[in-house]
Structure 1
Amino acid sequence: MRPATWTARPERKVLMRMRSVGLAGALLLAFLPAASANASPDDSPSAPHAFVEHGIRGKPLTFSSPDPNAFVEKGWRKAPATLPPGGVLLGRPAAADDPDEPPPPPTKEQCLNRPEAEVTPPEPGDENDTLAGWYKDRYGWCAWGTMKAEGKDAETGLEVAEFTVRFVIIGYGNNGARQFDYNVYLDRFDYVGPIKWDLATMSVRISGCNETTMDCPTTRHGTLPAWQAAPNAAFTVTSPEVSGGGEQILSGDLQVAIDFATPAEPEWVWGAPNGVTVAHTPIRYDSATYVGRARGAIFPAYRLTFVVDSIADNQDESALHIKQAFERPQLTWPSWQGKTVPGRTEPLTRMYNPAANSSNRNKSENMCRKIYGDWDSNLDNCDEFPFASTYEGSKTGPDKYGWGERYSVRLIDKTDNQYVGRQMLETEFYRPLRVLDGDPFYVAVR
């Protein structure tokens, strides 16, 4: 029985660590690297350059503001003539006190400051995927780049004109509705050549919809002067639920394409007849009820990472356990030569199966008893990694994958164990990020 003086948490935590990992584990503490983070602000984007009109650079043409209802067409949402601060048309509020409310989507400025958000529309015949963009989080994505159209004489094939425009595309999902929203911003309209530019047209469209399971938008189409006057478009893509309940997972890949044409001058040919796909992103809808809000829409390509802090007093013992399982797995229990533990470079997989979760916990607690004997459950818990709620757990891992005992158990502070497992993992990670059964994620210690 422990003396009463051991109840002071700082002293007790040190003694518990030494008892849990033994002498070899305690010696590792002296060699753990300190966490550090260096961040530098991104450079701001360059200022817009001058227009090119009939081969001569100069000031852009000016047009009067359109009627607010002038560009309301089926499939796209009217944008206000004046952008709000930051150039963002997105209507979702920033996350407040509700932990299930997603963070705000990326702004136009954030997107332009992310080099990984830049995309390069492919040349004809180029099959390389350079259109992925940047995922801010599970709900926010953006891409930016320059679309170029070359005008050629239909008879001679000679290039006689060129049009370019910069685009910024912001997409965001939803926690509470089966809905994605996309906003497209255009600027830096440049054109050169003997073309009647005031009669030229441009279209922006969303494609990749499954029309039987998704409510798909059409296209915003207008003249070049109209686009210069209102250089943005918005699209909403939804997926209605069907009878029968269940998760109703629907996956897809949405593309954004831009098309430029001179219908008043058919003698000019402008590349692909349906325009150029400038960006794309995989999407997923679901109606799972075990992650809080019963419906949602996320970007599955975002790399999910569950992070524990080795400095925070309410999770440092869990963090130490995970860190040593990654870096010194042979010194964790059960111990065997060549042991590795998944989670850092091999993803874990969320498992929504209460009975299987209990089987993982039972096996882990039996292993703890073999190592430590009985313990005071008011003070300590048997911590396991990978987590019991993953397919890589102590029981389901060997059963599913046929590998050895690639897990670790250790007695740690009860409050620490339950805070990480219940609050951080279940409430703050699985739930708001809509981590469903079968979804992969990684684990990091900072």
Structure 2
Amino acid sequence: MSRFYRRIVLSVFFLFLVTGMISPAQAQSDSNGGGYWLPNNKEKIEKATKLMKQGKSVEEIGIKQDQIQKKEGIQTLDKLMEEDQQSDTTYRANMDPPIKTADGWTPPDFDYDHILTTEECQRSPDSSSETGYIKNRYSFCWSHVATYQVPVKCIGGFCFYEGVQFQFTEIGYGSNQSRKMRVYYTLDDILVTHPSLNGAKLKIDMVCESKVNPGDCKEDPDFPPTERTIAQWKNTNFSTEIFTSEAPPPTDANPDQLGYMEFWPKLTLTHAPRKFKKSIDGIKQTVRYDSAKYMFAFPNQYFWQGAVFSKATPIFNVPVTKPEFSMLAEAGQHWKFAMDHPDQTKPQMDGKKIPGAVGDSTLTRMYPKRHQDEYNRNRNKTRRTCDREFRDEDRTGKQCDEYPFASTWEGSATNGSDNFSVRMISSESNGAAGTWLGAWYAYDRILDGDTFNVQVEAPEKIATIRSEGQPQDGQDNRSSDNFTIGNIPSYATKLQWKIVDGPTNAKFDVMKDISFGIDETIFNDLTDGSETEIKKSEDFYIARPEDTDGESFTVEVYAIP
């Protein structure tokens, strides 16, 4: 090129920059195009979509091309089980209540609580995270916006693109009956910036990798990867892949015939006329298979094989405030009290710490028939402790309840100290709780050695405040010092206000202390037992008390389900 023409090209290029038709970032754009997962940020998605429609690179706003997942090969079973137990993700198991029959308490029928729609998946904030949303051991999902940019023309180092964009959602389903898992995926909101891209082919392949045994990851040939043109995906926007696991022989090191598999989506867009082919990979997720023969719920429910999403710690959820769960109230209240107030439980011990609460250390299941001596030690120590602690009480119609459970390694004898609690509760509640716990072990496939937390959905006191019977001296409204409402349990939906000392027919407001401003009234006309929405602050106070005859009173605030 002559010096004259080079100057013309540079002048035109400079003019483009000055007038904003291209940006400096475009001048460095990739002539090969790219594939991208857009950040889970509404503003960035909108900006990236706008750039794509303008034919500009989404890399202008700092979005980088996707990195391809790498296979890591076979790993040890101990390592994979340890990774499961180190997961920060938790989920609450939801079960129906036990049923009273002529033969005693029986568990409810097992029922999958699956993610049923893409909308349900996307409502969860975790659905677009690096771990995805694990609703429970049998339902997982991940949803993200994918963008491909196909270069159309590159001049002088800068390029213009045509683009394809869509919302990709995958939902994984485990099983409590077989060593099989299924992945259902959809494409929604498909957008192309040029009609020619309707003919581009998109292939979706769920890649899987065996982690312990060669047979951990077998693709069902009847459900292969799916390749369609974009136009065809618009007409049929979903597909399915299925994986199975061969059970290895049982051994002393692997009696439950565990297998592990990792899987992730690989999306490949091919546009032959532009000689474009790019792949992007989604996040990895882990599936654990087992053939544990002791997954049994009395009297006749058997779950001898399963496939679960194991990178989440189960929470044994006990909603005792619901009327249909009233038979569990005594047991659940004991468990909650033991976790919240270990120093006030029997047997007494200085510095006692009782594990199991969400956010605290976990409990670990012990299968009694596999560890009969240790289980018997727990039961025997609990029995001796109850005989000693309650020897002077009338125990008619009652049984000794222990927490942590005898079927855990944190039980009375196997925890290595006296970090446990015993309480006399009705035989009915004790029997219903034992039946329900046993059913949950089977329903959630809590294997020997699996860790879990316990959460009792019961009212939890979060604040206590003393109020004068009238506004304090020099105050128009304030009748108490400031108090804090915080640390609300995750299951709570409301606050309940109780007057526990003083005139029980008192009425009062709650205000917020605002520095350098006018204090705000948060709740009006509260009385004993009033329920309100949840509000948090360190600067609440009781205000404008009425019907007190000038007497002071104490208010307790509870977070309730």
TM-score, structure 2 as length reference? 0.55
Counterpart of 2:174 in structure 1: which amino acid?
A: G
The corresponding residue for 1:276 is: 280
- Per the TM alignment, residue 159 of structure 1 is displaced from its structure 2 partner at its CA by 4.8
Alignment of 1:286-325 (within 5 A): 286-292=290-296, 293-311=303-321, 312-325=325-338
Alignment of 1:207-218 (within 5 A): 207-210=207-210, 212-216=215-219, 218=224
SS in structure 1 opposite 2:412?
coil
Instruction: Tell me which of 397, 410, 414 is aligned to 2:415.
Output: 397
- Per the TM alignment, residue 56 of structure 1 is displaced from its structure 2 partner at its CA by 9.2
- Kept in 2, the 8 Å contact 1:106–1:140? The answer is no
Stretches of structure 1 lacking an aligned partner (at least 5 in a row):
1-50, 58-94, 120-129, 399-403
- Kept in 1, the 8 Å contact 2:216–2:260? The answer is no
The corresponding residue for 1:111 is: 121
- Kept in 1, the 8 Å contact 2:315–2:454? The answer is yes
Provide the rounded CA distance (Å) in 1 between the counterparts of 2:399 and 2:170: 48
Alignment of 1:150-165 (within 5 A): 150-152=149-151, 156=157, 158-165=159-166
Deviations 1:347-367 (A, max 9, x none): 111111331222111111111
Alignment of 1:24-39 (within 5 A): none
The corresponding residue for 1:240 is: 246
SS in structure 2 opposite 1:431?
helix
Structure 1 pair 188–362 and aligned structure 2 pair: CA distance change class (3 A): same
- Kept in 2, the 8 Å contact 1:209–1:216? The answer is no
Provide the rounded CA distance (Å) in 2 between the counterparts of 1:154 and 1:303: 51
- Per the TM alignment, residue 116 of structure 1 is displaced from its structure 2 partner at its CA by 2.4
Provide the rounded CA distance (Å) in 1 between the counterparts of 2:405 and 2:318: 13
- Kept in 1, the 8 Å contact 2:153–2:160? The answer is no
Deviations 1:127-161 (A, max 9, x none): xxx33221222211122221112224697473522
Counterpart of 2:150 in structure 1: which amino acid?
A: G
Stretches of structure 2 lacking an aligned partner (at least 5 in a row):
1-48, 56-95, 97-106, 297-302, 458-561
SS in structure 2 opposite 1:323?
helix
Structure possessing the higher radius of gyration over alpha carbons: 2
The corresponding residue for 1:250 is: 259
Q: Which moved more, 1:168-177 or 1:404-413?
A: 404-413
Provide the rounded CA distance (Å) in 1 between the counterparts of 2:153 and 2:295: 57
SS in structure 1 opposite 2:281?
strand
User: Higher strand fraction: Structure 1 or Structure 2?
Assistant: 2
The corresponding residue for 1:418 is: 431
SS in structure 2 opposite 1:116?
helix
Counterpart of 2:448 in structure 1: which amino acid?
A: D
Provide the rounded CA distance (Å) in 1 between the counterparts of 2:313 and 2:116: 17
The corresponding residue for 1:65 is: none
Provide the rounded CA distance (Å) in 2 between the counterparts of 1:315 and 1:233: 43
- Kept in 1, the 8 Å contact 2:205–2:225? The answer is yes
Q: Which moved more, 1:236-245 or 1:327-336?
A: 236-245
Structure 1 pair 331–153 and aligned structure 2 pair: CA distance change class (3 A): same
Q: Which moved more, 1:207-216 or 1:323-332?
A: 207-216
What is the aligned-residue identity percentage?
Answer: 26
- Per the TM alignment, residue 384 of structure 1 is displaced from its structure 2 partner at its CA by 0.7
- Per the TM alignment, residue 184 of structure 1 is displaced from its structure 2 partner at its CA by 0.7
CA RMSD in angstroms comes to 2.8
Counterpart of 1:357 in structure 2: which amino acid?
A: Y
Say whether 1:224 aligns with 2:230: yes
SS in structure 2 opposite 1:183?
strand
Deviations 1:321-371 (A, max 9, x none): 112211211111121222110000211111113312221111111111221
- Kept in 2, the 8 Å contact 1:318–1:417? The answer is yes
Counterpart of 2:444 in structure 1: which amino acid?
A: L
Provide the rounded CA distance (Å) in 2 between the counterparts of 1:261 and 1:159: 18
Provide the rounded CA distance (Å) in 2 between the counterparts of 1:264 and 1:159: 16
The corresponding residue for 2:523 is: none
- Kept in 2, the 8 Å contact 1:180–1:236? The answer is yes
| Aligned residue-pair number | 333
SS in structure 2 opposite 1:264?
helix
Moved over 6 A (4+): 374-377
Provide the rounded CA distance (Å) in 2 between the counterparts of 1:233 and 1:180: 14
The corresponding residue for 1:192 is: 193
Provide the rounded CA distance (Å) in 2 between the counterparts of 1:55 and 1:328: 60
Q: Which protein, 1 or 2, shows the higher relative CO under an 8 Å CA cutoff with sep ≥ 6? A: 1
SS in structure 2 opposite 1:352?
coil
SS in structure 1 opposite 2:218?
coil
Provide the rounded CA distance (Å) in 2 between the counterparts of 1:377 and 1:285: 45
Counterpart of 1:390 in structure 2: which amino acid?
A: T
